[in-house]
Homo-oligomer: A and B are copies of this chain.
Amino acid sequence: MKHILMSHGAGGWEMGELIRQVFVATYGPPDFQPDDCAFLKWEGSRLAFTIDSYVVDPLFFPGGDIGRLAVAGTVNDLLTAGARPLALSASFIIEEGFGVADLKRIAQSMAATAAEAGVALVTGDTKVVPRGAADRLFITTSGIGRVQGSGLSGAQVKPGDQLILTGPVGSHGLTVLLAREKLLEGEDLKSDVAPLADMILPLWDHQVPVHAMRDPTRGGLAAALNEIARQSQVGLELWEEEIPVPPGVAAACDALGLEVLNLANEGIMLIFVAPEGAFRALELVKSSPYGREARIIGRARDSFPGRVYLRTRLGTSRLLPFPSGELVPRIC
C-alpha cells in the first residue's frame, strides 16, 4: 500500500485495511471497533460523537442533495450508536467560483433536514480554495447525541437475534451513479436519503431489546453485515427473497452488472433485535413513513461465526463476501 486508490474510500475491504494500517496503527485503541461513533462519559451519562465528510457528485440528485445527505448521514450514525441526536456542526470546503444561489439552496436543505430530525445545527466553518483545488463543494458534519441505555455497537449481536431491514435497497447508490453519468432520463429512480430519527427513537421509548444497528451506506448491506458478523462473531443468515429491491434498481443492476447488496443506501437501517422484541420492533418501525416496507430479512446464528450467508431464491446458499474494489465512487 504505497498510494491511495479509489478503493480505499469505497467502504469495502481496502478501506478497512487503510483504517487499520494508518489510523488504528497510529492511535492504537486496543479494542478498536469499526462502529460509526465514539462514546464519551459525561456527568454520569454517555455522549455519542461522530464525524463524516460528504463528497457526493453530483451535488443535486433525484431525492436529495449533498446538504440533506450530510445531515441525514450524521443523524443516522448517531442513531446506530443507540443515541438521540442533539446537535450538529458543519464545515464547508468551497471551490472559488461556486454559485452562492446553490450554496443557499444547500444550506436550506440542511436546515430542513435538521428540523425533520429534531437536531440543531449549532456551529460551522467555511473554507474557500482556488479553482481546481476542490470539485465545487465538500461538507463535513459532526454530531453529538445522548446515549439511550448503554449504547450500541456492532459487537453485541447474539445468536437468535432477528434482523430487520427497514426499507428497499440500492436506490441511493444507483441514483447518484446514474445521475452523474447522465443516464437517469426516463428512469423512475430516486435516492432514499432521509434522517431516520422518527423511525428509530420510538424503539428506545418502548424499550425494545435492540442489540445493534447499522445504516448500510458505502459498501451496502454486504459491507455492513460482514462487519457486524465479524464484530459479534456470529453467522448471519439472509433470506434473499425477503430483501426488497425496487424493480428499477434490479433492472439497472442487471444491465450494469452491479451487485445490489453492495450499493449504498442513505435512508434505511439494519436492526438486530432479540427474538422476543422482533414483532414489536417491526410494528414500531412500520408506523414511520420511512419504514412502511420494513421486514425481517434474516437472523444471527452460532454456526459459521464471522460470515454472512445468503439463502437464494433458488433455495441454495452462498457466501456474501465483504465487498472489495472501487464499487461506486463519490456516492456520499
Q: Report B-chain residues with C-beta under 8 Å of the C-beta of A37.
A: 123
On whether A26 and B135 interact (CB within 8 A), knowing A38-B87, A51-B123, A53-B91, the answer reads no
Q: Report B-chain residues with C-beta under 8 Å of the C-beta of A121.
A: 27
Task: Indicate if the CB atoms of B40 and A43 lie closer than 8 Å.
Answer: no
Task: Indicate if the CB atoms of A4 and B97 lie closer than 8 Å.
Answer: yes
A residues 41-79 in Cβ contact with B at 8 Å: 42-45, 47, 49-55, 57
Q: Report B-chain residues with C-beta under 8 Å of the C-beta of A44.
A: 43
Q: How far apart sit A49 and B50, CA to CA, in the bound complex (Å)? A: 12
Q: Report B-chain residues with C-beta under 8 Å of the C-beta of A10.
A: 128
Most chain B Cβ neighbours within 10 Å, of A7, A9, A37, A87? A9
Interface string of A321-332 (1 = CB under 8 A from B): 000000001101
Task: Indicate if the CB atoms of B51 and A8 lie closer than 8 Å.
Answer: no
A142 contacts partner chain B, Cβ-Cβ < 8 Å = yes
Chain A interface residue count, Cβ-Cβ cutoff 8 angstroms:
78
Task: Indicate if the CB atoms of A89 and B50 lie closer than 8 Å.
Answer: yes
Could you give 27 example pairs across A and B, Cβ below 8 Å? A3-B98, A4-B95, A4-B100, A4-B103, A8-B94, A9-B126, A9-B128, A18-B126, A19-B126, A22-B100, A26-B110, A38-B89, A42-B43, A49-B89, A49-B122, A49-B123, A50-B123, A53-B93, A53-B125, A53-B127, A55-B127, A55-B134, A91-B140, A91-B142, A93-B93, A129-B330, A132-B135
Given contacts A27-B111, A42-B43, 9 further A-B contacts (CB under 8 A): A3-B100, A9-B128, A9-B129, A10-B128, A27-B121, A49-B89, A55-B133, A93-B140, A144-B144
